[in-house]
Amino acid sequence: MRLVLLLTALAAPFAFATPASSCGEHKLKERIVPPRGWTLHGPAPADHIIRLRIGLPQPNFPELERHLYAVSDPDSERYGQHFSKEEVDALVAPHPESVSRVDSWLASHGFNAEDIERSSAGDWATVRVPVRVAEKMLNTKYSVWKHAASGDYLVRTTSYSVPEEVHSHIDVIQPTTMFGRFKASKSTVHSFEPESAAAAVLKNAVVSTGAARTIDNPNGGPPVDASCNTTITVNCLKQLYNAVGVTAKPAKGNQIGLTGYLEQFANEADLQQFYADQVPAALNTSFKFISVKGGLNDQNISEAGAEANLDVQFAFGISFPTPGTFYSTAGRPPFIPDVGTPTDTNEPYTDWLDFVLSHPNPPQSISTSYGDDEQTVPRDFAVRACKGFAQLGLRGVSLMFSSGDGGVGDGDPDPATQQCFTNDGRNATRFIPGFPASCPFVTAVGGTTRIPEFGIGFSGGGFSDYFSRPSYQNKAVGKFLAGLPKGTYKGLFNPRGRAIPDVSAQSNRFRIFLSGRPVLIGGTSASSPAFAGFVALLNDVRLAKGKKPLGFLNPLLYSKAVSGFNDITTGNNPGCGTPGFNATKGWDAITGLGTPNFGKLVKLVT
């Protein structure tokens, strides 16, 4: 019945002009200044193939957002009443007139209906097109651009236009002005080292001298093993976050998912070694692998991905035996000028979004450890991707993203070389928030370290320049800002922006297995899958009691569940030649609301 009502509402007539003709004057859609670090290499080959993604307007998205907050607010009578795939598709579907006009425009350039790939809701249309045709369609010129630091190449333009009669029927077209790299250096893996001799010496010293083997738990739970101050394991996290002895049932279809990009895959042999080491009950179990757009699953152990192994081992280790899914999405941005005309790739997280939105039952808890500097992602594109995350939230999915490893800046530890400048041609000094963490419809996870915990210096935090502060943050973030000394970092951040992170978790010296050997790894890429594992455990308890999954978390976290977090009050996240923000009582721009106390949270959410 709810779907029928939605479809009826969406059928209301729109006021449009006469049907589009096959040609017309072009009107500028977007123009950018090339981001810092990119230089013009040469003209793009005319036959180079681009998968051109055209985003059609979603006229009823405000209605979707209203429903999202209603089903995510624990004080609402509609809390937990998530929508089906079909209901969400109806809310974001473009008006038929927009579809008709865009189709006519594409037809004028030789595209038939069978040439157009459409998203589940019809709000994206994708065509494969050679550069010479794309340039005519968009009245632009594509070039090959080189990234100085990495040597990567991209085929992009700095502006594009569309005929005036379709201008209002298109939100965004990419790849055009999108220079975001979404590279391994931005996957938020902060450190990578063999398990140190120092850690082994400390373990042996504890055994041989009879030194204290446990640390009082500052979070009120049972004691924490002393080794957790040098090496983080699944048991360490369960001890510290008050979840000792907690094992999923699992109940009523509960699932957890992880996304992998940039040719990363998780090695099953490494996972078995990890389970033998830390979760013996999980031995000989695995996870479901799903390839998106040709994503890899190469099980050559020497080629395993550090990021993918970290995510899989800890998220699935914490939430075992909750069924886990690993999505491997193909797509590497670089274009190689010397190999003919290879197919260009799209921004991979929207390929994943298209895929997961097309399926009726995605996992209820999903973590992603990748991102870009917000300013390298065109605003129109960021807004559309963020709306895709909102669709998943309305369907009952909790999305976690790492907040980034640059503190308030770009992650360069040398203040003399940090590049904290705007990409708008002014080169003004500015803090650099990350995206998708800055999207208000996801949960951004920052990082802590040691016991007692403090905010780790690389924990990404700050304020979005694209998205305004959502109402669920007003009280907590307003208090933080009011406590800053007057004039602190004036002009370096947007105090009205969506604030990150929302929460945090341990993020340093995680013991994983990679290519058959134990190593220590860290970053907010460790925090996010670990936090997602605990969310999956909370969903398990809720589903076992006949309740709905948590879905979009943030309205709950900032209200009813705020007392379920361990407040972190020390640490800072330097960057851009500044000390960054300090951890403080309540929410702060390095650790958010703090780290989870599962024992308290499970009572608050069930």
Catalytic residue among 525, 527, 528, 540: 525
Does the annotation flag 588 for ligand binding? yes
Active site residue 311: yes
Question: What is the C-alpha to C-alpha distance for residues 126 and 117, in angstroms, rounded to an integer?
Answer: 5
What is the maximum alpha-carbon separation in the chain? Answer: 86
Does the annotation flag 73 for ligand binding? no
Indicate the Cα dihedral angle 154, 159, 163, 165, nearest 10°: 110
- 472-478: which pairs have CB atoms within 8 A and are 24 or more residues apart? 472/554, 472/555, 472/558, 472/559, 473/498, 473/499, 473/554, 473/558, 473/587, 475/558, 476/558, 476/562, 476/586, 476/587, 476/593, 477/587
Active site residue 97: no
Does the annotation flag 586 for ligand binding? yes
Catalytic residue among 270, 307, 351, 405: 307
Active site residue 525: yes
Catalytic residue among 87, 311, 344, 347: 311
CA distances from 435 to 113, 354, 382 (A): 34, 18, 8
Check: CB of residue 162 under 8 Å from CB of residue 27: yes
Check: CB of residue 549 under 8 Å from CB of residue 557: no
Residues with Cβ within 8 Å of 505's Cβ and at least 6 positions away in sequence, in order, are: 237, 241, 445, 447, 448, 526, 527, 528, 530, 531, 595, 596
Does the annotation flag 567 for ligand binding? yes
CA distances from 603 to 33, 107, 539, 554, 599 (A): 51, 57, 12, 17, 7
Count CB-CB contacts under 10 A for residue 100. Answer: 15
Residue numbers belonging to the annotated binding site for Ca(2+): 567-568, 586, 588
Catalytic positions are 307, 311, 525
Residue numbers belonging to the annotated binding site: 567-568, 586, 588
